[in-house]
């Protein structure tokens, strides 16, 4: 019996359950030297904002045990250049595209949605709400159910039924199920879990914060148990919600762990920095391990850890 390796997220079908993670492969150009982008589930692009942005002060990276701390910020060309350059290039590669958007106000997300509505070649939107809301004392949208809902409602009202919307949440909350419920009842079709975990490193030589941005986002294997926990909790509370999982996946076995917790797809982020072929290797390993365990499809494995 051949394995059915396809998966659906928020109603969109993908031929494989392995994706890039936003911000870790830019728009895919570098990775395309290592494998054809059309062979993976989809490329999730770096969160795009309305205007070009320079990102945060240097240094922007610190190595940590089993992880990486970054304070790159949402550096990028802005939506207009992205639509002219990146989308057509990705489409020319035959890649499926999930566009990640980010804003500082609910209105900015609305404007981005207006610009993306009707653009062909996009499979879904990932709405990164793990950013500070300048209209609410810089409180991260995804830390507050009301602000999180407001963004998803405004994106939904503009996108209509054209594209699936995945809301990307931060694990830096007391109760992630509350936020997940809020965005799902506001029109999201699925969730992306998890963004980086807020952390900090102090340089003991200079005795000052190491990163120019003071705090940064922790990623890599150090956060995998947090991702597994968040996915498991959300799946338990909202069993029908589709989840794109990410956080510290470096092998097919790690990807399987997130799938067993409840993810229908898995994004690979930090692993690609050390090994640009990681995404395709992990995809191969996952295919093999699902077969070895006797699954007939990815669908059968999703949420398996919840079964008696
Ligand atoms: C350098 C870097 C940049 C990132 N940029 C974004 C981004 O633009 N938008 C976003 O939603 N997540 C961003 N992330 C978070 C990743 O998409 C992912 O959620 C997180 O790193 C956990 O996965 P990983 O451990 O496999 O890296 C970034 C992560 C890193 C390490």
Q: Is 154 near ligand 1, meaning CB less than 6 Å away? A: no
Cβ atoms 189, 183 nearer than 8 A: no
The mean pLDDT of the chain is 96
pLDDT at 27 (0 to 100):
84
The three-state secondary structure class of 108 is helix
Q: What is the pLDDT of residues 139-186, one digit of tens each?
A: 999 999 999 999 999 999 999 998 999 999 999 999 999 999 999 999
Maximum Cα interatomic distance, the chain, rounded to a whole number of Å: 60
Rounded Cα distance between 178 and 256, Å, is 26
pLDDT at 54 (0 to 100):
84
Question: Ligand 1 center to residue 267 CA distance, Å?
Answer: 9
For a mutational test of ligand 1's pocket, the pick from 269, 272, 273, 279, i.e. the residue with the most ligand atoms closer than 8 A to its C-beta, is 269
Q: Is 149 near ligand 1, meaning CB less than 6 Å away? A: no
Rounded Cα distance between 78 and 63, Å, is 29
Rounded Cα distance between 95 and 29, Å, is 11
Please report the atom of ligand 1 found closest to the CA of residue 271: 26
Residues acting as catalytic residues: 131
Backbone angles phi, psi at 204, to 5 degrees: -80, -10
Residue nearest to atom 14 of ligand 1 (CA): 23
- What count of Cα atoms within 13 Å lies in the side-chain half-sphere of residue 46? 22
Question: Ligand 1 center to residue 21 CA distance, Å?
Answer: 6
Q: What is the pLDDT of residues 263-296, one digit of tens each?
A: 999 999 999 999 999 999 999 999 999 999 999 9
């Amino acid at each position: 019996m051949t394995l059915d390796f396809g998966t659906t997220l928020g109603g969109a079908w993908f031929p494989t359950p392995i994706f890039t993670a936003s911000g870790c492969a830019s728009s895919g150009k570098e990775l395309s030297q290592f494998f054809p982008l059309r062979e993976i589930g989809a490329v999730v692009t770096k969160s795009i904002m309305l205007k070009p942005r320079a990102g945060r002060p240097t240094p922007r990276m610190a190595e940590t045990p089993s992880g990486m701390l970054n304070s790159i910020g949402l550096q990028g060309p802005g939506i207009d250049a992205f639509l002219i350059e990146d989308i057509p290039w990705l489409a020319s590669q035959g890649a499926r595209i999930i566009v990640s958007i980010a804003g500082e106000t609910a209105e900015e997300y609305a404007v981005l949605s207006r610009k993306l509505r009707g653009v062909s070649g996009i499979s879904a939107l990932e709405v990164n709400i793990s950013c500070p809301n300048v209209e609410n004392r810089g409180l991260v949208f995804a830390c507050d159910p009301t602000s999180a809902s407001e963004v998803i409602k405004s994106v939904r009202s503009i996108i209509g039924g054209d594209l699936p919307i995945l809301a990307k949440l931060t694990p830096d909350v007391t109760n992630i199920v509350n936020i997940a419920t809020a965005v799902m009842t506001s029109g999201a079709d699925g969730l992306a879990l998890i963004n980086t975990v807020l952390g900090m490193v102090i340089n003991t030589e200079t005795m000052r914060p190491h990163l120019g941005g003071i705090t940064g986002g922790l990623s890599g294997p150090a956060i995998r148990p947090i991702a597994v926990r968040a996915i498991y909790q959300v799946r338990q509370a909202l069993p029908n919600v589709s989840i794109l999982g990410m956080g510290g996946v470096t092998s097919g076995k790690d990807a399987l762990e997130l799938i067993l917790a409840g993810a229908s797809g898995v994004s690979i982020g930090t692993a690609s920095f050390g090994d640009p072929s990681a995404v395709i290797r992990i995809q191969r390993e996952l295919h093999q391990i699902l077969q070895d365990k006797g699954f007939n499809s990815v669908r059968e494995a999703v949420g398996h850890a919840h079964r008696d």
